[in-house]
Amino acid sequence: MTAPFRICFVCTGNICRSPMAESVFRARLAEDGLDGLVEVDSAGTGGWHEGDGADPRTVAVLCAGGYESVHSARQFHASWFAHLDLVIALDSGHLRELRGLAPTAEDAAKVRLLRSYYTGPTADAGPGQESGRTSAPDLIDGLDVPDPYYGDVTGFEECLEMIEEASDGLLAAVRAAVTAPETGQAVAREASQDPHEPREKESA
């Protein structure tokens, strides 16, 4: 594909979870050699913190994890859907709000929950048991990255761990999209395909 694949991570105020996800995923892309093919940024559903840097606790845990933390908060706008391939929501509230904001059904389909890409065992699964997610994970409880804003740094550390785990699955989906022979909308559909839902069979 010639045009860059564009992803925007979205949380509430764009100072905690989404800048954290942006930094982690940008690092994953660089490690995988895809940083020249994929553009990543972040935003918030609200504009309360526009122009502010990331929360100091976000900066602290990112720096401790070896990630970059340069950031300026901004608000997500519906017009952005036109140039984005994926819009990654950090919790189910953002998912609903963003899908409601989408101008078209095709744009709404671009919105995914970050943790829907996590394929490892859940915290409440027994030894050797997988999460059991088989379809429509956006509608299953437990896929939110919780808002750490009102807690201490421990909550930010837990968020970082969740984001890192889910980023591996998201990276795999994006890698498949940008290295596939298809272009344009077909590429976008490849990465926005729910990783836990069966794909439609191609006609012979």
CATH class of the domain at 5-121+135-192: alpha beta
Q: Determine the average pLDDT of the residues in 170-181.
A: 93
Domains of the chain by residue range: 5-121+135-192
Residue 11 annotated in active site: yes
Residue 17 annotated in active site: yes
Which secondary structure element, helix H or strand E, spans residue 41, and what is its range? strand 38-44
Q: Determine the average pLDDT of the residues in 180-199.
A: 52
Strand, helix or coil for residue 122: coil
Catalytic residue among 16, 17, 57, 112: 17
Residue 16 to residue 7: CA distance in whole angstroms: 17
CB 36 within 8 A of CB 70: no
Catalytic residue among 6, 74, 147, 189: 147
Angle, CA 30 vertex, CA 26 and CA 34 arms, to 5°: 95
Q: Determine the average pLDDT of the residues in 153-161.
A: 97
Number of C-beta neighbours around residue 138 at 10 A? 18
Q: Which residue reads 């929501």 in tokens?
A: 89
pTM over 0.85: no
Q: 106-154, pLDDT tens digit by residue?
A: 999 999 999 999 988 754 433 333 343 333 444 445 899 999 999 999 9
Provide, rounded to the nearest whole percent, the portion of the chain with pLDDT above 70: 78
Q: Which residue reads 């010639």 in tokens?
A: 2
Q: Determine the average pLDDT of the residues in 177-186.
A: 68
What six digits make up the tokens of 106?
């095709």
Q: Determine the average pLDDT of the residues in 55-80.
A: 97
